[in-house]
Amino acid sequence: MVPSWMLIVAQEESAQGASRYMTFIIIAVFIAVFYFLLIRPGQKQKKAHRELVSSVKKGDEVMTAGGLFGTIKRVDAENVIMEIARKTEIKMAKSSIARVVNAEDFEEEEEDYEEDYEEENEKGEEDSGEDEG
């Protein structure tokens, strides 16, 4: 017959072994979740930006990371010359290009700007009318 103290020791060892495996499994699951929620989307975004930057060509309308809009005039390996106004060109790193903008985007932004401008003027006229009375 097996002494009872040996059974108790055997049960404790098997419980500790299972606990170790569960800890390992939980850590592995957290690493997988971290990878798929944080790292993987960042890698996809970087890849898309690299493809965008490599596809930029002369004549493209672009927006920079700083919010400047302009037309690409020249493209080097690492830099571009961008015209931001008539006879105003700047040299900048290709990596600072945030997106290529098509003509429709320019028209939408121009319409939004005009609407905002009109709303501000209307508010200004209403405010000045109240002061007179």
Length of the chain equals 133
* pTM, two decimal places: 0.54
For domain 57-100, give the fold.
SH3 type barrels. (2.30.30)
Instruction: State how far the Cα of 100 lies from the Cα of 89, in Å rounded to an integer.
Output: 18
Instruction: State how far the Cα of 52 lies from the Cα of 23, in Å rounded to an integer.
Output: 43
At 36, the amino acid letter reads F
Instruction: State how far the Cα of 102 lies from the Cα of 133, in Å rounded to an integer.
Output: 48
Cβ–Cβ under 8 Å, residues 99 and 65: no
Per-residue pLDDT of the chain (133 residues; tens, 9 = 90+): 556 655 555 556 555 666 778 888 999 999 999 888 888 888 899 999 999 888 899 999 999 998 899 999 999 989 999 999 999 999 999 999 998 887 666 666 667 767 777 777 777 666 655 555 4
